[in-house]
Amino acid sequence: MATASVGAAVDRYPAVIIVLHWTMAGLILATIPIGWRMGDLEPGPLQDTLYHTHRSIGVTVLALAILRIVSRRTLGVPPPHPALAPWQRTLSVAVHHLLYVLFFVVPILGWAGTSAFGAPIIVWGLFELPPILPVDRPLSEILLGAHGLFSQTLAGLVILHVAGALYHALLRRDGVMQRMLFGRTG
């Protein structure tokens, strides 16, 4: 299994995966609060911009998730950190798997729900994503409701994940955090 730097004390993730991790983390952490706020605003240019931005970020997350899975398969990832207790290993692998599932489920439900609503999905003002469902308002309500529910699940898992990462970085200081960072190898 390929790992990052040969002979280094830290068994890092490949650079491409580190870049994808932090880019996707930034996008997801931006689009969740936008999603929470945009529906409460008065209809108008600001609300339109937030909807377009939210959808564009979501579509980008979906595209990067595909790239991330391909990178993971071709470059490999380090085995679980040896400092993890068996229950921590099981929990972190389960959370990572669920996060990967939600990287697809959440944007695809948003795409399907927006298609069924009949609104255009214009990605970063560059091109329009084709609808994947015909217009059907009651179905759109169900799909966007599920989109909201799964995005709350995603937010909950991110909190758990970040708490775990900070626990290792600040309290245990066992090198788990370094695996997802660039920097000194020792």
**Is residue 116 within the footprint of ligand HEM (CB under 6 A)?**
no
Contact pattern from residue 132 through residue 171 relative to ligand HEM, giving x for each residue in contact according to CB under 6 A and a dash for the rest: ------------x--xx--x--x---x--xx--xx-----
Name the residue nearer to ligand HEM (CB basis): 4 or 92.
92
34 CB burial (10 A radius; 0-12, 13-18, 19+): middle
Task: Name residues contacting ligand HEM, limited to 6-45 (CB under 6 A).
Answer: 17, 21, 24-25, 28-29, 31-32, 35-36, 39
Whole-number Cα distances in Å, 1 to 13, 19, 87, 134, 180: 11, 20, 23, 44, 17
Under the criterion CB under 6 A, does residue 180 sit at the interface with ligand HEM?
yes
Side-chain half-sphere CA neighbours of 98 within 13 A: 17
The number of residues that bind ligand HEM (CB under 6 A) is: 43
> Measured between alpha carbons, how far is 16 from 180 in angstroms, rounded to an integer?
11
Instruction: Enumerate binding residues for ligand HEM (CB under 6 A).
Output: 17, 21, 24-25, 28-29, 31-32, 35-36, 39, 54-55, 58-59, 61, 72, 77, 81, 92, 96, 99-100, 106-107, 110-111, 114, 121, 144, 147-148, 151, 154, 158, 161-162, 165-166, 176-177, 179-180
